[in-house]
Structure 1
Amino acid sequence: MPDLTPDAEKSHQIKISLRARLLTARRSFPVTDRLSAARQLQDQILSLVRRTGARSIAAYVPVGSEPGGPDLPDRLLSALPAGGRLLLPVLLPDNDLTWAEPTPPAAAPPTSTPAASAPPASVVPAGGPSASLVAGPRGLREPGGPRLGVEAVCSVDLLLVPALAVGNDGTRMGRGGGSYDRVLARLPEPGPLVVALLHDGEDIVSVPAEPHDRRVHAVITPTGGLSRRPCP
C-alpha cells in the first residue's frame, strides 16, 4: 500500500471499522428476514426497470447476505422485454470483472415417459425464465457463456452494483476488493444509470472516501425504494 497522508490514513481506518460493523450486522440478519427483504428489494428493482424502460441490464449474482437474493438474475430475466439483455459478472484473476449473458438451462433429452405424466422439457417454470449459472471462484456463481470483455458493461442502460453502504453524496463502499471501483471507473459519461442495492440501514449520511472510490447515481433499499444521489 502506498504511504498515506494522516487524513487519508484516518479515513482508511474509519472505513475498515465501518466495513467490519456492517458485515457483522449482515451476518446476524435472520434468514427469514433476509428473504423477505430480498423480495421487497426485487420488487423495487423491477418497478425501476419498468419506469425506465431499460432493455439492457448489468447486475450481479447475490451470495450469502448480499442484498437482492440468489434469484435476482431470474427475476431480472423475467422483467426484460423481448430482445432484452442481461449481463452478469465473471471474476478475473486480477479481481477485475468481465461479463457474460446467462443462458437458459439446456432442455432435457426426450424420454419414453408419456406426455400425460410429465411436462415437456421446454416448458418454462411458473416463475419465468431462469439463469443457468456455474460455480465460480470464492463461492461466487457466474454465467458459463462466452466472455464479452470488461468493456461490455459500458453499453447497458442500467447497472446494479453491490455495496455495503452509500453516503448522501453517492460515495459507495464495497468489500475492499476493488472490482466494482474498476467497473465504475471505465464507464463513459453519460453512461448507464448506476444503482447500488442495500439493506435497510446501509443508506447512511457519510462514507469515508479514498481516491479510488466511485459514486453511484442512486440506491435502492427494501423499504425506502429508490433514492437519487447526491441527496438534495
Structure 2
Amino acid sequence: MTSTKAELRRSLLAARRARSPEARRADAAALAAGLPALLEGVADPVCLFVAVGGEPGATPDGALPVLDAARAMGRRVLLPVTVGAAPLDWAPYDGPESLGAGPHGLREPMGPRLGPAVLADAGLVVVPALAVDHRGVRLGRGGGHYDRSLPLAGAQTRLVALVGDDGLLADDLPAEPHDVGVHAVWRPSSGVTWLSA
C-alpha cells in the first residue's frame, strides 16, 4: 500500500511540475472565477490555503487570486498554520501583506491564531490533495497535517479537495482507518464535483 501511494504521489507531482507557467496562471484564474459557485450557501468562516509550487491555484508570480476573490466577496477566510505534529492551527487572511514564511516553503498568516477547534464552526474547508477517488478518499502529500485536523470539522462543514484536472480517480485509492473522506473535489476546468460516497 505504501509503495503504491508513493508511486502515485511521484507520478502526480511530476505531472504538476511539468505544467507551464501559463497553464498554472490559467488554472488559478479558473479557480478564482469558480469560487462563487463553490461558496454558494456556505456560511463563514471558510478555510482555504495558500497554494504553492505546482498546486492548483498557485501562480508563478506568487499572486493569490483565489484568496483575494474570497475576500472581495466579503468572506471571512481562515488559513492553516502548521504547528509541528499537532492539528493545524488557523488564522485570518487579511491580504497578501498578512502572510509570512512558514515551514516546508509555505506562506502562512501571521495574525492571531484561533486554534484547531475553529474547524467545528467552518462552513467549508478546502483541502490540498494530489488525488481523490470516487469514495472521497484523498491522497495528500503525506505530512498528515489535514489527517489530524479534519476530524475536528463540524457536521455542517463541507470538505472539498482541491486537485488538478487529472485528480479525480476512477480507481480506489488505498484507505487507512484515520482517513477522513471529502465531500467533493474542486478542479480548475471542471469546477466542483460532489461525490456520492
When normalised by structure 1's length, the TM-score is 0.77
CA deviation profile, 1:173-224 (whole Å, cap 9, x unmatched) = 1000000111112223x23111111111111112221222221000111111
Distance 2:57 2:86 in 1: 22
Q: Do the aligned partners of 2:122 and 2:157 also contact (CA within 8 Å) in 1? A: yes
Does 2:91 correspond to 1:100? yes
Distance 2:128 2:168 in 1: 13
CA deviation profile, 1:18-59 (whole Å, cap 9, x unmatched) = 11110111111111101101111222222221x224332011
The list of structure 1 runs, each at least 4 consecutive aligned residues, that deviate by more than 4 angstroms after superposition, is none
Partner of 2:174: 208
Partner of 2:118: 152
Distance 1:193 1:94 in 2: 24
Quickly say closer, same or farther: Cα 1:24–1:132, change in 2 above 3 A: same
* Structure 2 gaps, min length 5: none
Q: Secondary structure at the match of 2:3?
A: helix
- Of 72, 78, 98, the match for 1:78: 72
Q: Kindly report which structure 2 residues correspond to 1:1-232, keeping only aligned pairs within 5 A, or say none.
A: 11-49=1-39, 51-69=40-58, 70-71=63-64, 72-80=66-74, 84-94=75-85, 96-104=87-95, 132-188=98-154, 190-205=155-170, 206-230=172-196
Q: Do the aligned partners of 1:73 and 1:131 also contact (CA within 8 Å) in 2? A: no
Distance 1:20 1:177 in 2: 15
* Structure 1 gaps, min length 5: 1-10, 105-129
Q: Which has the larger radius of gyration?
A: 1
Distance 1:169 1:74 in 2: 31
Q: Do the aligned partners of 2:35 and 2:69 also contact (CA within 8 Å) in 1? A: no
Q: Do the aligned partners of 1:87 and 1:153 also contact (CA within 8 Å) in 2? A: no
Q: Secondary structure at the match of 2:169?
A: coil
Q: Do the aligned partners of 1:74 and 1:131 also contact (CA within 8 Å) in 2? A: no
Percent of pairs with identical residues? 40
CA RMSD of aligned residues (A): 1.6
Distance 2:55 2:44 in 1: 24
Partner AA of 1:211 in structure 2: P
Partner AA of 1:102 in structure 2: Y
Q: Do the aligned partners of 1:86 and 1:102 also contact (CA within 8 Å) in 2? A: yes
TM-aligned CA deviation for residue 96 of structure 1: 2.9
